[in-house]
Amino acid sequence: MSDSLTPRFRTRVKVCGLTREQDVDAAVAAGADALGFVMWPGSKRGIDESRLAALAERVPAFVSRVGLFVDQPPELIARCAEHLDLLQFHGDESPEACANAPRPWIKALRMRDGLDLRAAATHYHNAQALLLDAYRPGLPGGTGTTFDWSRIPANLAKPVILAGGLSADNVALAIARVAPFAVDVSGGVEASPGVKDSEHIMSFVEAVRQADARH
């Protein structure tokens, strides 16, 4: 239990898959630490470069703009990076390919059977964090499903961003079980793919704050 003089850990919040100005504003107003923009055209939440520019310029200082890529060309990544603070690689990018990125980066890992997270943390040792997401064949991200959180070892060498099927209803349990550095939400705060609901965003951030206050 913390007292008022003891700083508490604050679980960071990333809201992902933003496509609309009003959703960017809602996530910032709710207190999100990072906003994710899916640059992969195969996604229902995918946006193009001009949309990225328009959305990114609304984001104030101290809120990170994160661009998501799935095995995409370095030239595209470099152009998008002009509007981004951080890159999130969701495909089979090698550590070498990631290391050539023009911005700091995080590696998304889909929790398929047999994935050795300690080995992955060593493999991607230059990553700023590992984002752990559910595995669903054929879908590189945004599955809307959880995975078995007990597979995440304690004291992983990299900060953990927990993703996959989180919502205001289960994020407190996730924080209690995993104690991640950050949580990432997309489908759990949506009315439909790519269309966020400001009330759901607010409830999600509030649920994270309440969970933090209990620890």
Ligand X SMILES: O=C(O)c1ccccc1NCC(=O)[C@H](O)[C@H](O)COP(=O)(O)O
Applying CB under 6 A, the residues found at the interface with ligand X are: 16-17, 36, 38, 40, 43, 45, 68, 70, 90, 131, 133, 140-144, 163-166, 184-188
> Closest CB to ligand X among 70 and 81?
70
C-alpha 191/C-alpha 64 separation (Å) is: 24
The active-site residue out of 3, 16, 23, 71 is 16
C-alpha 56/C-alpha 162 separation (Å) is: 23
Shortest Å distance, C-beta 6 to ligand X? 32
Please tell me whether residue 20 adopts helix, strand or coil conformation.
Answer: coil
Shortest Å distance, C-beta 57 to ligand X? 21
> Closest CB to ligand X among 31 and 165?
165
Shortest Å distance, C-beta 5 to ligand X? 35
> Closest CB to ligand X among 49 and 213?
49
> Closest CB to ligand X among 68 and 201?
68
Burial environment of residue 112 by CB neighbours within 10 A (0 to 12, 13 to 18, 19 or more):
exposed
Residue 98 designated active-site = no
Give the phi and the psi of residue 108 in degrees, each rounded to 5.
-85, 135
Torsion-angle region of residue 122: left (phi > 0), alpha (psi -120 to 50) or beta? alpha
The active-site residue out of 23, 80, 133, 184 is 133
**Please, what is the end-to-end C-alpha distance for the chain in angstroms?**
6
Residue 16 designated active-site = yes
Chain centroid to CA 14: 5
Shortest Å distance, C-beta 163 to ligand X? 4
Nearest C-alpha neighbor of 20 from the set 1, 43, 42, 47? 47
Give, in order, the Cα–Cα distances in Å from 96 to each of 54, 92, 99, 100.
31, 11, 5, 7
> Closest CB to ligand X among 140 and 180?
140
The set of catalytic residues is: 16, 133
